[in-house]
Structure 1
Amino acid sequence: MSVSFNHTIIGAHDPAASAEFYLEVLGARRTEDWGPFVNIVLDDDTLLQFATAPVNDPIHLAFLMNDDEFDRGYAALRRRDVEHWADPQMRRPGEVSTDDGRRVYFRDPSGHLLEMLTQPYV
């Protein structure tokens, strides 16, 4: 068996609200919840599990997607009036980077820094 990424647990102030945000922006799909987790699944079957937790140290998650999915996700950010930047230093507000594919940075409802990109780094 080769090694692949299977799941991550994301601490959230409100797990259901965070899951809804990811569902809309990333186009993920719902799956069965269990225990303390609100669960969603990405197209590659990666499981994202949201659980109530203090969010003292936000994490960074990057999501690679094709141009159509990027357009859909970016439209969702704009509908939700989510502040976003073209750079992780947050010096270019309201922009999308087009330096190497398209890239945009934004925060989820719990403050985690997310990135949508159309070209992988490696």
Structure 2
Amino acid sequence: MSVSFNHIIIGAHDPRRSADFYLDVLGARPAPGWGPFVNILLDDDTLLQFAPAPVAEPVHMAFLMDDADFDRGYDALCRRGVDHWADPQMRRPGEISTEEGRRVYFKDPSGQMLEMLTEPYL
């Protein structure tokens, strides 16, 4: 068996609100929940599990996608009025980076720093 990424538990102030945000922006699909988790699945079947938790140390997660999904996700960010930047230092607000593919940085409803990109780093 090869190694692959299966799931991550993401602390959220409001798990349902965060899951709905990811469903809209990433185009993910709902998954059955259990216990304290609100679950969604990415296209590669990676499970994102949202659980109620304080978010003292936000994590950074990057999502690789094709151009059509990037456009759809970026439109969702704009429709929702989500602040976004072309750089992780948040010095270029309201822009996307086009230096190596397209990239945009933004925060989810609990303050987790996210990135959508069309070209992998490696």
Mapping of residues 9-24 of structure 1, within 5 Å: 9-24=9-24
What is the CA RMSD across the aligned residues, in angstroms? 0.2
Q: Tell me which residue corresponds to 1:46.
A: 46
Write out per-residue CA displacement over residues 42-97 of structure 1, whole angstroms, 9 at most, x where no aligned residue. Answer: 00000000000010000000000000000000000000000000000000000000
Cα shift at 1:34: 0.4
Q: How does 1:60-99 map to 2 (within 5 A)?
A: 60-99=60-99
* Map of 1:6 onto structure 2: 6
Equivalent position SS for 1:115: strand
* Structure 1 residue runs of 4 or more that deviate by more than 4 Å after TM superposition: none
2:110 match: 110
Q: CA deviation at 1:117?
A: 0.1
Identity of aligned residues (%): 75
**What is the distance in 2 between the residues matched to 1:80 and 1:74?**
10
CA distance in 2, matches of 1:112, 1:32: 23
Normalising by structure 1, what TM-score? 1.00
Give the TM-score, by structure 2 length. Answer: 1.00
5+ residue gaps in structure 2?
A: none
Aligned to 2:55: 55
SS of the residue 1:33 aligns to? coil
Q: Letter of the aligned partner of 1:116 in structure 2?
A: M
How many residue pairs were aligned?
122
Q: Which runs of 5+ in 1 are unaligned?
A: none
